[in-house]
């Protein structure tokens, strides 16, 4: 199956022509880039092997991650400088840099994001190209379903191979245990506890995934309406609620959140708002406010980026937006909260961030993914696709470990 990420890789084939010549001519300039990196790394450091075989330590001014990186070609730094994290991924895919464990490197980049400035974001014309491509994938009503399909309609068999049996694709909450399925149940239970679910309560779930939360709410007695734009997810969720004996209490719809009209005592939405995009935050919160009864509660789980990093992040498109989640955007919490409160939605009981739980979740998914590949349960996808997804899972894990991104739960109460 040819995927969007693989098409992007094929479109890039001509970029490396003359890479060796570029590297030889520009080696002094690259040395200056490394000098700058050495000064800007405030926490942790890099054990680097350079293309000429020499070794260099970069950073180490304060404790932090200590990744090991081998630069096979100076083109890796060219790509990083011109295309940010998008170019850094392309360089990895081409073997221009490698590491026995890239997660500490991504942790290091995120931990030092403020001091590194725009290192991981594209510059010059490439920034504009990436930004324009991201804008073209905006989640307008006519395009949102295509964006969702690009990620979620890879097939239920694909996700079943490495998610836990509940098919939960969001951060778990570990509480000293190592069991992924138990940690996912804990996350769902804590979210539902925010909503005063009781027999006969009407719950709207915006972004229902494969139905795990809806089934848990129905078991508490709720009447659930779940929204998704993925036909694959809806097919799975319909079967799952039937198998659980909850079909009479749950109704899944292929419907955009902007189109739903109803009156619900509770709304749940788990890591869906990141797929909306900043332009559509007001519309998302309008939908929550319009469909929630006065005094009703909405429980959200959301992924945020540190506010001081947001504007630089939003000015281009990163690896995740280019290859994995078209149209996506992490949350600037103060701005999002202000939009909610302007719509009469009180921002209450915000949990502490549990980003390290997300890092553990991502590590568990990667281990399960690797096992599925080794056992031949994902043979329908190319080696390049598998490398892309392993990189994605490592990239995200490092981001959460570095603290620049986080995940939290909050309750919105309609005044």
Q: CATH number of the domain at 392, please.
A: 3.40.50.150
Same domain, yes or no, for 106 and 224? no
Domain that holds residue 90: 4-120
| 35-83 confidence digits (pLDDT tens) | 999 999 999 999 999 999 999 999 999 999 999 999 999 999 999 988 8
pLDDT score at 14: 44
Same domain, 289 and 172: yes
3 state DSSP class of 304: strand
pLDDT, tens only, 282-328: 999 999 999 999 999 999 999 999 999 999 998 888 999 989 988 88
Residues 340, 396, 407, 410: which is the catalytic one? 396
Tell me the pairing of strands 68-71 and 223-228: unpaired
In a domain? residue 134? no
81's tokens: 């400088």
Same structural domain, 294 and 224: yes
- pTM score, two decimals? 0.90
Contact 390, 329 (CB under 8 A): no
The pLDDT value given to residue 82 = 86
Confidence at residue 61, expressed as pLDDT on a 0 to 100 scale: 97
In terms of domains, do 344 and 399 share one? yes
Average pLDDT of adjacent 10-residue blocks, the chain of 415 residues: 49 46 65 91 97 96 98 93 91 97 98 79 53 58 69 88 97 92 97 94 97 98 97 96 97 96 97 94 98 98 97 89 90 98 98 97 98 97 96 98 98 97
211 in the same domain as 352: yes
Strand ranges in 275-351 using DSSP code E only, listed in sequence order: 292-305, 345-348
In the residue annotation, 208 being an active-site residue is answered as: no
Instruction: For residues 280 and 336, state if they share a domain.
Output: yes
SS3 27: helix
């Amino acid at each position: 199956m040819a995927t969007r990420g693989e098409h992007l890789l094929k479109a890039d084939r001509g970029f490396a022509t003359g890479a060796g010549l570029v590297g030889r001519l520009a080696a002094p300039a690259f040395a200056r880039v490394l000098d700058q990196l050495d000064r800007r790394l405030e926490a942790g450091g890099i054990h680097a092997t350079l293309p000429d075989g020499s070794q260099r330590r970069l950073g180490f001014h304060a404790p932090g991650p200590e990744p090991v990186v081998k630069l096979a070609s100076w083109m890796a730094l060219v790509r990083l400088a011109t295309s940010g994290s998008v170019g850094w991924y392309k360089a990895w895919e081409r073997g221009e840099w490698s590491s026995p464990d890239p997660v500490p490197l991504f942790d290091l980049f995120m931990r030092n994001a403020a001091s590194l400035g725009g290192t991981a974001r594209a510059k010059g014309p490439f920034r504009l190209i990436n930004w324009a491509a991201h804008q073209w994938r905006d989640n307008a009503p006519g395009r949102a379903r295509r964006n969702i399909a690009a990620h979620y309609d890879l097939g239920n068999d694909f996700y079943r191979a490495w998610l836990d049996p509940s098919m939960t694709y969001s951060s778990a909450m570990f509480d000293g245990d190592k069991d992924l399925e138990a940690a996912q149940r804990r996350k769902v239970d804590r979210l539902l506890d925010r909503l005063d679910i009781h027999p006969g309560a009407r719950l709207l779930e915006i972004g229902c995934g494969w139905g795990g939360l809806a089934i848990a709410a129905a078991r508490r007695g709720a009447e659930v309406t779940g929204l998704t734009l993925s036909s694959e997810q809806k097919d799975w969720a319909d079967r799952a609620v039937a198998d659980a004996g909850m079909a009479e209490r749950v109704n899944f719809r292929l419907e955009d959140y902007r189109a739903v009209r109803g009156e619900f005592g509770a709304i749940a939405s788990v890591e869906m708002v990141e797929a909306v995009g900043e332009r559509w935050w007001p519309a998302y919160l309008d939908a929550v406010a319009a469909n929630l009864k006065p005094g009703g509660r909405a429980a959200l789980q959301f992924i945020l980026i540190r506010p001081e990093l947001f504007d630089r992040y939003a000015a281009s498109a990163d690896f995740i937006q280019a290859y994995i989640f078209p149209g996506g955007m992490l949350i600037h919490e103060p701005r999002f909260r202000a939009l909610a409160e302007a719509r009469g939605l009180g921002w209450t009981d915000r949990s502490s961030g549990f980003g390290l739980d997300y890092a553990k979740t991502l590590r568990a998914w990667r281990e399960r993914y690797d096992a599925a590949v080794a056992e031949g349960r994902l043979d329908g996808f190319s080696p390049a696709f598998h490398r892309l997804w392993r990189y994605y899972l490592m990239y995200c894990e490092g981001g959460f470990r570095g603290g620049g991104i986080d995940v939290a739960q909050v309750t919105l109460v309609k005044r």
